Amino acid sequence: MTEAAILSARGLTKEFKGFVAVNNVDLDVRRGSIHALIGPNGAGKTTCFNLLTKFLQPTSGAITYNGRDITGLSSADIARLGLVRSFQISAVFPNLTVLENVRIALQRRRGDSYDFWRSETVLREYDDEARSHIADVGLTAFTDERAGELSYGRKRALEIATTLALNPEMLLLDEPMAGMTQEDVERISALIRRIATNRTILMVEHNLSVVANLSDHITVLARGEVLAQGDYATVSKDPKVIDAYIGAGHG
Ligand SMILES: Nc1ncnc2c1ncn2[C@@H]1O[C@H](COP(=O)(O)OP(=O)(O)OP(=O)(O)O)[C@@H](O)[C@H]1O
């Protein structure tokens, strides 16, 4: 592990019945950076992401977070350490308002019961903090709107707000731009940039222009292995990366 790394993997490997989906991956995510995991279809990005977020247990290899071995921990354990996967515990309830959704996430963080029918006075204590997370993701105008009525992009912004309510030190985002309009992509990109000012972000992302715009560092996977690492200018010129994308029909 290097000094500046907040999350590191060494020799990370995942086999599914003899098929090696992730093969001996070494990865260092620098503290404070926006790090993207990219690669053609079937490269092993999702599997790698699931290993790092402890949704899957590796066949072999080790993961450290802040210098601590987290290989054997559960995703709930690592969330308590500040390593939180967006949309992990933060499903959006469509019939509740934006404010109510963020409030519930805050209650969860503080270990309150799920009894959100409790007294209005208690609930109001959470409102100030909830409103500040809502402002952070640009949803103030929609505070009292039912989550189910929001546009797709705003729903994703709300999911990020509920994740921020858990006060993560590092956020893992699984294809944050999937299914978004260009306008939403721009809004969520600005949001990710804003929340990254005092956090570390690792994301799997298919949209290469987003990756080019947002990421400080990129790990390219192909056939389960690390093909290249570096900034966008470096990896996008790498003949191995170009071949892998063209070979996979992304050309
Ligand atoms: N549970 C599983 N059992 C068996 N094989 C799996 C399983 N999960 C993933 N794989 C295989 O592992 C390989 C990598 O899959 P993965 O979903 O991690 O790739 P990816 O890079 O995220 O792909 P995509 O961009 O298409 O989402 C694929 O060949 C996939 O079929």
User: What residue's CA is closest to ligand 1, atom 24?
Assistant: 41
Tell how far the Cα of 16 is from the centroid of ligand 1, in angstroms: 9
User: What ipTM was estimated for this complex?
Assistant: 0.95
Give yes or no for a contact between 101 and 165, defined as CB atoms under 8 angstroms apart: no
Give yes or no for a contact between 228 and 18, defined as CB atoms under 8 angstroms apart: no
For ligand 1, say whether the CB of 19 is within 6 Å of any of its atoms: yes
Q: What is the pTM of this model?
A: 0.88
Closest CA to 160 of 207, 168, 126: 168
pLDDT tens, residue by residue, 207-247: 889 999 999 999 999 999 999 999 999 999 999 999 988 77
For ligand 1, say whether the CB of 44 is within 6 Å of any of its atoms: yes
Tell how far the Cα of 42 is from the centroid of ligand 1, in angstroms: 5
Domains of the chain with CATH codes:
1-87+170-251 (3.40.50.300), 90-165 (no CATH)
For ligand 1, say whether the CB of 41 is within 6 Å of any of its atoms: yes
